[in-house]
Amino acid sequence: MTRDSASTPIDFSLARGIIERVARERRLPNETLALARAHGRVLAGEVRARIAVPGFDNSAMDGFALRHADLAAGDGWLDLRGEQFAGGPAAPPPGPGGCVRITTGAPLPEGTDTVLIKEQAEVVDGRVRALADPGPGRHVRRRGEDVEEGALLATAGQRLTPARLALLAAQGIEAVEVVRPPTVAVFCTGDELVEPGMPLGPGQIYNSNRELLMGLLRAEGLEPVAWPTLPDDPAVVESALRHAGEAFDLVLTCGGVSAGEKDPLPELLHRRGRVHFWKVRMRPGMPVLLADGGTLGPALFLCLPGNPVSVLATFVALARPLLDGLQGRGPRAAWRARLSAPWDKRHERREFLRGRLSCDAEAALRVEPDPADGSHRMRAAADADVLIVLPEGVRSYPAGSVVEVLPC
Ligand SMILES: Nc1nc2c(c(=O)[nH]1)N[C@H]1C(S)=C(S)[C@@H](COP(=O)(O)OP(=O)(O)OC[C@H]3O[C@@H](n4cnc5c(N)ncnc54)[C@H](O)[C@@H]3O)O[C@H]1N2
Ligand code: MOO
């Protein structure tokens, strides 16, 4: 793709399609990790249950294990004939008219089928009386009622949340096959940028995008590496990106990707890399560029526009799906909400507008668009819960319109 042919913006859906194809082609290899290291990782294959959970019928409460028929038949009194603690030696079967003291999680002694909780029991001289009928089978957790042996527990592409990891740990599984997460280098470019903590000179601004990008990447469970800020010097930019292009799976840059005289990235990536797209019909974030590194190295290059809200929007809309695809992660939950105020777009592009979520009296999700829609208006982004997606074409959205929202 030449620089001229690539400079016509493409549709957002086309860009998403390219992202998904490129990510599929570059899906990262699998690795086997101990559960303790697998938090947040994406599973490489399905996991089936090796054992039933619970592994045996057991008590859900502290009390007395008994045979329910004995309660109904006799005078309400049972003989206390042993005790069964969780993890303790097996109590002998109590036999007809008998019961066993039991604790939560302890296996039900043979011949018993019900647990009377201790709060509803009277104990006198080695005998137990039920103050209320618990009902047959009460307070018993049946073998396999949570997980049956051989059941499908998790599938390829699922993220290992703490609860899913606990499900696997309960199987005695100690290691899982997951996808290696991408290594990511983060670059900010611009002569005007100064790091927080340093004094500002005339015309200078603080570098806020680094914190934004590093935070967004860390929230994905990644361990990104930030490069020192690059000046608007094409030779310095080329040299730094070449080093990163050899060493990382993904190089994420922000700034210097638009039409300015000092925007070196489009020229560099057209000359040394292979550009998949440059400019997408979206707002903010239009000048975003995706390229294979070519002679800059095997890394993939995703160059985000410098305006802070453009960084957020292009990350959520394009970089996050790219990171998901590289790890073979399955689709995320899709959220919709009703606009609580009307919105008129001033353009045809797909808009990613900052919005705040709330829940109305009917428990429906509502989203309030923030009128501060400029791509430099970071306050609106900081206050936002979501980006509101307003597709191409339609310009006018009355209050109550159902819109897609992306958590940000
Ligand atoms: N003639 C045109 N001008 C612009 C176009 C265009 O198509 N034609 N596109 C506009 C759009 S849309 C965007 S978005 C920006 C993107 O430009 P760049 O990616 O080249 O970004 P810069 O010019 O380097 O910076 C834009 C803006 O953001 C500030 N910035 C940059 N980096 C940081 C940082 N790390 N932390 C905080 N702020 C940062 C920078 O100072 C600029 O104000 O171009 C429009 N122009
Ligand atoms: O498309 Mo740009 O990101 O609006 O300022």
- Residue to substitute in 257, 307, 373 for testing ligand 1 pocket (most ligand atoms within 8 angstroms of CB): 307
Which of 127, 160, 179 is at the close of a domain?
A: 179
Ligand nearest to the CA of 309: 2
Q: What is the pTM of this model?
A: 0.91
Nearest to 295 by CA among 264, 273, 268: 273
Cα angle 111-114-116, degrees, rounded to a multiple of 5: 125
Domain co-membership, 71 together with 135 = yes
Nearest Cα residue to 372 out of 357, 395, 348, 354: 354
Q: What is the pLDDT along the chain (408 residues), one digit of tens a residue?
A: 555 545 789 999 999 999 999 999 999 999 999 999 999 999 999 999 999 999 999 999 999 999 999 998 878 899 999 999 999 999 999 999 999 999 999 999 999 999 999 999 999 999 999 999 999 999 999 999 999 999 999 999 999 999 999 999 999 999 999 999 999 999 999 999 999 999 999 999 999 999 999 999 999 999 999 999 999 999 999 999 999 999 999 999 999 998 767 788 999 999 999 999 999 999 999 999 999 999 999 999 999 999 999 999 999 999 999 999 999 999 999 999 999 999 999 899 999 999 999 998 888 999 999 998 888 999 999 999 999 999 998 899 999 999 999 999
Q: How far is the CA of 86 from the centre of ligand 2 (A)?
A: 62
Ligand closest to CA 284:
2
Q: Is 320 part of any domain?
A: no
Q: Supply the CATH number for residue 394's domain.
A: 2.40.340.10
CATH number of the domain where residue 37 is located: 3.90.105.10
Residue count of the chain, please give it: 408
- Strands (E) in 279-383, as ranges, are 282-283, 289-292, 300-304, 335-339, 343-344, 350-359, 365-369
Instruction: Report the Cα–Cα distance between both ends of the chain, in Å, rounded.
Output: 32
**Which candidate, 261, 269, 262, 309, places its Cα nearest to that of 286?**
309
Q: How far is CA 166 from CA 42, 177, 181, in A?
A: 15, 16, 21
Looking at all shown ligands, the one closest to residue 304's CA atom is 1
Query: What residue's CA is closest to ligand 2, atom 4?
Result: 284
- Phi, psi of 315, rounded to the nearest 5 degrees: -65, -50
Determine the structural domain holding residue 157 and report its residue range: 33-53+145-179
Confirm whether 326 is domain-assigned: no
Residues 68, 41 share a domain: no
- Is residue 16 assigned to a domain? yes
**Alpha-carbon separation of residue 16 from 21, 145, 214, 387 (angstroms):** 9, 42, 22, 17
278 CA distance to ligand 2 middle (Å): 13
Q: What are 72-82's pLDDT values in tens digits?
A: 887 889 999 99
Residues 120 and 214 in one domain: no
Q: Render pLDDT for 45-97 as a digit per residue (tens, 0 to 9).
A: 999 999 999 999 999 999 999 999 999 887 889 999 999 999 999 999 999 99
Q: How many CB atoms lie within 10 A of CB 334?
A: 8
Q: Is the CB of 307 under 6 A from ligand 2?
A: yes
Question: Can you give the CATH number for the domain in which 96 is found?
Answer: 2.170.190.11
Angle at 382 between CA 407 and CA 350, to 5 degrees: 55
Using CA atoms in the order 365, 368, 373, 378, what is the torsion angle rounded to 10 degrees? -80
Could you report the predicted ipTM of this complex, rounded to two decimals? 0.96
The CATH number of residue 189's host domain is 3.40.980.10
Answer yes or no: is the C-beta of 255 below 6 A from any ligand 2 atom.
no
Same domain, 264 and 385: no
The number of domains in the chain is 4
